Amino acid sequence: MLSRIKNFLLTNQSIRQTVAKNAFWNTVGQFGGRLLRAGIIIYAARELGAESWGAFSYALSLAALLTIFSDLGITGLLTREGSKHPELRAKYLATAFFTKLMLMVTGAAVFLIITRSFIDNIEVLALLPVVVILTAIDGLHDLSNGMARAVQRMELEAWANIMTNLGILIFGFTALFLYGNSFALAIGYTVGSSIGLAAIIITLRKYFVGLLKNFSFSFIKPMIAKAWPFGLAGLMGAIMINTDIVMLSFFRSIEEVGFYSAAQRIILLLYILPGLLVVPLFPVLSKLLSEPERFRAIVSKGLRVLLIMALPLTAGGIILGGGIIELIYGKEYLQATLSFQIMAITALTTFPAILIGNAIYATDRMRVLITYAIIGIFGNVFLNLLLIPPLGMVGVAIATVLVQFIGNTYAFIKMREFIDVSKIIKFIQPIFAVAAMIGVILILKFLPVIMLVAIGGITYFAVLWLAKEPSLLEIKSIFR
Q: How far apart are CA 324 and CA 454, in angstroms?
A: 12
Number of domains in the chain: 2
What mean pLDDT comes out for the span 331-346? Answer: 94
In a domain, 468, yes or no: no
What mean pLDDT comes out for the span 113-140? 86
404, part of any domain:
yes
Whether 180 and 326 share a structural domain:
no
Residue 8: the pLDDT is 56
- Is residue 38 one of the residues assigned to a domain? yes
DSSP code for 331? G
Higher pLDDT pick, 475 / 104: 104
Between residues 446 and 14, the one the model is more confident about: 446
Q: What is the pLDDT of residue 171?
A: 92
Q: Are 162 and 29 in contact (CB under 8 A)?
A: yes
279/409 same-domain check:
yes
147, pLDDT greater than 70:
yes
CA proximity to 229, closest of 103, 371, 353, 359: 371
What is the average pLDDT across 115-143?
85
- Tell me the longest C-alpha to C-alpha distance in the chain: 66
Mean pLDDT (the chain, rounded): 82
348-405 pLDDT, tens per residue?
988 888 888 778 777 777 778 778 878 887 888 899 999 999 999 999 999 989 988 9
Residue 457 lies in a domain: no
Task: Please give the pLDDT value at position 448.
Answer: 94
Q: What is the pLDDT of residue 371?
A: 82
Residue 355 forms part of a structural domain: yes
Q: Looking at the structure, do residues 413 and 306 belong to the same domain, yes or no?
A: yes
Residues 207 and 266 occupy one common structural domain: no
pLDDT tens for 148-173 read: 777 777 777 777 888 888 888 899 99
Measure the CA–CA gap between 132 and 115, rounded to whole angstroms.
Answer: 12
DSSP assignment letter at 469: -
Same domain, 208 and 299: no
| Count of C-beta atoms within a 10 Å radius of residue 342 | 23
357 in the same domain as 309: yes
Average pLDDT over residues 282-306: 74
Q: Quick check: 233 pLDDT over 80? A: no
Query: Quick check: 145 pLDDT over 50?
Result: yes
Could you tell me the CA-to-CA distances from 208 to 201, 218, 378, 381, 403 in Å, in that order?
7, 20, 38, 39, 40
Banded pLDDT at 452 (limits 50, 70, 90): very high
With 0.85 as the threshold, say if the pTM is over it: no
The proportion of the chain whose per-residue pLDDT surpasses 90, expressed as a percent, equals 24
**What is the span of the domain harbouring residue 344?**
228-425
Task: Report the distance separating Cα 278 and Cα 425, nearest Å.
Answer: 20
Residue 230: pLDDT band (50, 70, 90) is low
Handedness of CA 34, 36, 40, 46 (dihedral sign): positive
Residue 31 has pLDDT above 80, yes or no: no
**What per-residue confidence (pLDDT) applies to 479?**
44
Q: Are residues 340 and 265 in the same domain?
A: yes
| Model confidence at 406: pLDDT above 70 | yes
Over residues 43-67, mean pLDDT:
84
Q: Which of 18-32, 35-49, 162-176 has the lowest mean pLDDT?
A: 18-32
Q: pLDDT value at position 250?
A: 85
Residue 11 has pLDDT above 80, yes or no: no
| 259 and 297 share one domain | yes
* Cα 172 to the center of its chain, rounded Å: 21
CA-to-CA dists, residue 462 to 83, 222, 312, 456, angstroms: 38, 51, 13, 10
Domain boundary among 215, 239, 257: 215
CB 356 within 8 A of CB 421: no
Assess contact for 241 and 57: CB atoms under 8 A: no
The C-alpha R_g of the chain, in whole angstroms, comes to: 22
Please tell me which residue, 341 or 109, carries the higher pLDDT value.
Answer: 341
With a pLDDT cut of 70, the percent of the chain lying above it is 83
Whole-number pLDDT of residue 478 = 44
Is 46 a domain residue? yes
294 closest CA partner among 15, 22, 12, 27: 15
Relative orientation angle of helices 89-115 and 122-150, to the nearest 10 degrees: 170
**Mean predicted confidence (pLDDT) in 175-185:** 91
Looking at the structure, tell me whether residues 312 and 174 fall in a common domain.
Answer: no
Q: 211 and 275: one domain?
A: no
105 and 252 part of one domain = no
475 found inside a domain: no
285 and 178 in a common domain: no
Domain membership flag for residue 291: yes
For residues 372 and 236, is the Cβ–Cβ distance under 8 A?
A: yes
- Looking at per-residue pLDDT, the higher value among 340 and 154 belongs to 340
